[in-house]
Structure 1
Amino acid sequence: MQSLPPADHGRQAYLVLAGCTLIQAPVWGYSISYGVFQKYYTTHKGIEGSPGAVAIVGTTLNGLMYLMMPLTFTLLTKYPRLRPYTGPVGLCITIASLVMSSYATQVWQLIASQGVLCAIGSGLLFSPTTLYLDEWWVARKGLAYGTMWAGKAASGVVVPFIMSALLDRFGPRTTLQAWAVALIVLTAPLLFYLKPRIPLSNSHTQRPLSWTFLKNPGFWMLQIGNVVQAFGYLLPTTYLASYANDLGLPSFSGALLLAVFSIASVPGSLFIGYLGDRFHPTTVILICSLGSTVAVLLFWGLAAEMALLLVFAVVYGFFAGGFSTTYSGILKEMKRIDEGVETGLVMGLLLGGRGVGFMAAGPASAALLQGGSRMIEHAKWGYSTQYGPMIILTGATALLGSWGWMWTMLKAVLV
């Protein structure tokens, strides 16, 4: 019987890790940059529709990408022979969606192309690469996932500025078509290096998938914390630029704060991944939650000037930006409890739960803004502005992201 290549080290393992890290830019680059396009569409002629309708494109793109993960991860775990084809198909769909949207003149066309098709294509591109990473990295899974998510964070630093510069000079049609070409150049070589560690001939395509982890209350407590954390996670990055603008700060302040958040997420993801290989996942999640909560309630809640907002962006980016890296610890914990569990199924459900939180956050944030105070120009801190209720909610959801740890402590006390 042919032995498998070594996991956690060796040339092939590091090539897969490098490929999974670099491919985050093609997968998430457009969704991360959509705010730049939204601003352009709402301030320039060419797209028929209200600003609110244009915003639906972004929420559809991000929400659908995450919500489809349980389905794609389940199918690719059950039928691993589909994985080599899923990435190229996803790339083709993504390219087609960008080219189609470059000729859009109405909002519904943007929703169909950029919102739905781009989400499907990017999701199909992401799913098999993540499953390959899961095969090649076992004992050091946390560090591997931390590196992968750091790649996503790094793309959030670079890609939006590139898109903004291209939009200002060439407009959306040329920018979208140029990004489509860039996807081919960036992604096609990476797909060649992203290969399974377990040969397809050895894959258990006929063995029923094990869903026993769904009977484990610990999984559901972690999932509840995951959904709640996701509910508030995007609120600061969504409204931070508007908050800075309403405070009367320079026009570049919003872009700078978002860039600082993304930069801080890179070491944050690596650090959380490092902890994930050494401590129980509930402990690591607690560290992320406490750091995020302090950042929101202390630094954003009291911020009415640029210096404190920068501190907030650094601390929140470091701790909250690395939250998804805790998934590696959850996968290892579920595997420890039941050796037969398919970690791809667990990962898919965790990403799907994140999508639920993201989708629910949009309507809730709009309602919170309407309920907040309108006085902001001479505000002494964030709590006294219209963003006050949102800051409190974000801090509460950040803290409740550690619900898995809280449940464990509560169970220990009661027992």
Structure 2
Amino acid sequence: MAGSTSTLTMENEMDVERYRESDLENQEISAAPTMANEKGFYTDGMESKGSVQPGILELARTSTTTTIDPGPPPDGGLKAWTQALMAHLVIFNTWGYINSFGAFQTYYSQTLDQPPSTISWVGSIQIFLLFFIGTFSGQLLDAGYFWYTFGVGSVLQLVGVFTASVSGTYWSLLLSQGVCTGIGSGLLFCPAVALASTYFLRNRSVAIGIAASGSATGGVVFPIIVRQLLPTAGVGWAIRTLGFIMVFNTIIVAFFMRPRLPPRPFGPIIDWDAFRNPSYTLYAIGMFFSFWGIYFAFYYIGSFARSELGFAYQDSIDLLIIMNGIGLPGRIIPNFVADRWIGPLNMLLPFTGIVSVMLFGWPGVHSKAGVYAWAAMYGTFAAGIQSLFPATLSSLSSDPKKRGVHMGMVFTVVSFACLSGPPLGGALLTSDDGGYLYGQIWAALSILLASCFLVAARISKTGWKLRKIWFGSQLHKSRPSRKGLTKHNHNNNLDIPISKA
């Protein structure tokens, strides 16, 4: 935890309140001179030599409830960037594994004698649970139970991976790789991203971009291993090798990842007040449609290349590796630009528009060189959407201590898009007699509709003027020093633009 705790006095309450409203801290402070010890229990601040008087753990917010002010986010430094790197490893294990499912899609279809839409349920359930469990795992992070969540999630994820390596039927594969691994990933993903975001303010989008790029590195490493081991060692040892890599990463994360904020009392699983913000609601709807169609290409680019362009199996996996690998800069550079100049939502808008245009153009790809170029371009801009999604969502929360809940709520909305999208795409392939046109147009229209909702979310904040948006913040052109408290902000509206682009 950065900074030292101190007993607050009545004299600085007004400054602290303004500081909270500015979203530099957003910590809840009361006049009671109580403080929390390292276990999260509230004490009266009276300490004797080597002992602390017992405090009372309050289960509900009252006029005497208080939390520690941990100080401003370090916004850099070794410990902060280490948390971003640990979140990268968590996402390497979760999203990297999920993004590699395309390497298994055709193999499972052939060996299990199931149509593509049926096989895609394994991957879609995994993504659904990853997002859906985010509501509950985010709440547990806010309440101070990160390590319990991390431990249970890691065990379930690894059990799912290693049992998938010995699965010989469709239903055993669905339960292991789909359900078990999905639940474990859901317990890991949301807390890791939300935890890392609490260490940053100005550099938050860059930090989340570094974390999100784990899906690119994992999406390259895992398919390469599958491509090399599947023909020689078999699917069992290919999946077990992936599991051993996950074990190694999990051990590293357990050593170095550390929560920064103190726990807060349990609140509702859903913060309904967040949906009173029209931009938050429109953003949630927009990302639903975005994730509804974005994974169609990741799941079916390989089978498209084999059936339409005559690719060999290993060459088709190369397309998936390119799509994931090229996404590494696509997950970091847009976030850097968003932090420095235009804001995360303004950066997200052109990326969704470009992805929609590319999907509309996919039916016009008829050559091997063309599909390689298309995969590289699509991977770049789709990666931007995936990394800017949590970066923008993190900035939507006006209270960093509720960030886990607010992120988890939208993750749950998006989870239903991820559950239904890939199987729907597979069903469209079947209805088109194995053709891809119906699915391509559906995915393109879905993301086009997402762009419309995201534009509406932006207009609801600033109108038609071009402005830099930092949701949940009341920062001014001249950012206050972290050494002092802001004395400029007296407006209770937590969602206003701060500067012209």
Distance 1:42 1:294, change over 3 A: closer
2:184 matched residue in structure 1: 121
| Contact 2:222–2:242 under 8 Å retained in 1 | no
1:368 aligns with 2:435: no
SS of the equivalent of 2:211 reads: helix
The structural deviation recorded for 1:273 is: 0.9
Distance 1:39 1:227, change over 3 A: same
| Contact 1:327–1:347 under 8 Å retained in 2 | no
| Contact 1:149–1:322 under 8 Å retained in 2 | no
Q: Tell me which protein shows more helix as a share of its residues.
A: 1
Q: Which moved more, 1:229-238 or 1:323-332?
A: 323-332
| Contact 2:290–2:447 under 8 Å retained in 1 | yes
Distance 1:317 1:215, change over 3 A: same
1:236 aligns with 2:297: yes
| Contact 2:101–2:299 under 8 Å retained in 1 | no
**In 2: Cα distance, 1:7 partner to 1:121 partner:** 30
The structural deviation recorded for 1:396 is: 1.8
**Counterpart code for 1:119:** G
2:98 matched residue in structure 1: 31
Q: Which runs of 5+ in 2 are unaligned?
A: 6-69, 465-501
**Counterpart code for 1:405:** V
Post-superposition CA distance 1:172-203 (Å, at most 9, x none) = 333333333332222112221000122xxx43
Distance 1:111 1:184, change over 3 A: same
**In 1: Cα distance, 2:374 partner to 2:306 partner:** 16
1:216 matched residue in structure 2: 277
**In 2: Cα distance, 1:11 partner to 1:359 partner:** 38
**In 2: Cα distance, 1:158 partner to 1:391 partner:** 27
1:68 matched residue in structure 2: 133
TM-align CA RMSD: 2.7
Which of 321, 324, 330 pairs up with 2:386?
324
2:372 matched residue in structure 1: 310
1:380 matched residue in structure 2: none
| Contact 1:289–1:400 under 8 Å retained in 2 | no
1:57 matched residue in structure 2: 122
Q: Which runs of 5+ in 1 are unaligned?
A: 375-385
1:140 matched residue in structure 2: 203
Distance 1:127 1:408, change over 3 A: closer
Name which one, 1 or 2, has greater alpha-carbon Rg: 2
| Contact 1:213–1:341 under 8 Å retained in 2 | no
Which of 244, 249, 259 pairs up with 1:181?
244
**In 1: Cα distance, 2:266 partner to 2:108 partner:** 49
1:301 matched residue in structure 2: 363
Distance 1:17 1:387, change over 3 A: same
1:13 aligns with 2:87: no
**In 1: Cα distance, 2:336 partner to 2:193 partner:** 18
**In 2: Cα distance, 1:208 partner to 1:366 partner:** 37
| Contact 1:280–1:329 under 8 Å retained in 2 | no
SS of the equivalent of 2:231 reads: helix
| Contact 2:279–2:460 under 8 Å retained in 1 | no
- Please give the TM-score of this superposition, normalised by the length of structure 2: 0.71
2:327 matched residue in structure 1: 265
The structural deviation recorded for 1:35 is: 3.3
| Contact 1:257–1:310 under 8 Å retained in 2 | yes
1:347 aligns with 2:414: no
**In 2: Cα distance, 1:141 partner to 1:149 partner:** 12
**Counterpart code for 2:237:** T
| Contact 1:64–1:116 under 8 Å retained in 2 | yes
| Contact 1:135–1:197 under 8 Å retained in 2 | yes
Q: Which moved more, 1:64-73 or 1:166-175?
A: 166-175
Superposed counterparts of 1:74-85, under 5 Å: 74-77=139-142, 79-80=143-144, 82-85=145-148
**In 2: Cα distance, 1:346 partner to 1:394 partner:** 27
1:256 matched residue in structure 2: 318
| Contact 1:296–1:312 under 8 Å retained in 2 | no
Post-superposition CA distance 1:123-170 (Å, at most 9, x none) = 222233222202112221111111111121121112112023222222
The structural deviation recorded for 1:333 is: 4.6
- Please give the TM-score of this superposition, normalised by the length of structure 1: 0.85
Post-superposition CA distance 1:12-50 (Å, at most 9, x none) = 011111111123222234323333334334444xx6x74
Post-superposition CA distance 1:234-259 (Å, at most 9, x none) = 11121211221122333144222222
Q: Which moved more, 1:249-258 or 1:114-123?
A: 249-258
| Contact 2:355–2:378 under 8 Å retained in 1 | yes
1:40 aligns with 2:40: no
| Contact 1:4–1:197 under 8 Å retained in 2 | no
| Contact 2:200–2:207 under 8 Å retained in 1 | yes
Distance 1:122 1:254, change over 3 A: same
Between the two proteins, what is the percent identity of the paired residues?
A: 25
| Contact 2:294–2:447 under 8 Å retained in 1 | yes
SS of the equivalent of 2:101 reads: helix
1:203 aligns with 2:268: no
| Contact 1:285–1:401 under 8 Å retained in 2 | no
The structural deviation recorded for 1:233 is: 0.2
Post-superposition CA distance 1:302-356 (Å, at most 9, x none) = 2111222222212221112221322355345534xx4477222222122222221
**Counterpart code for 1:15:** T
SS of the equivalent of 1:9 reads: coil
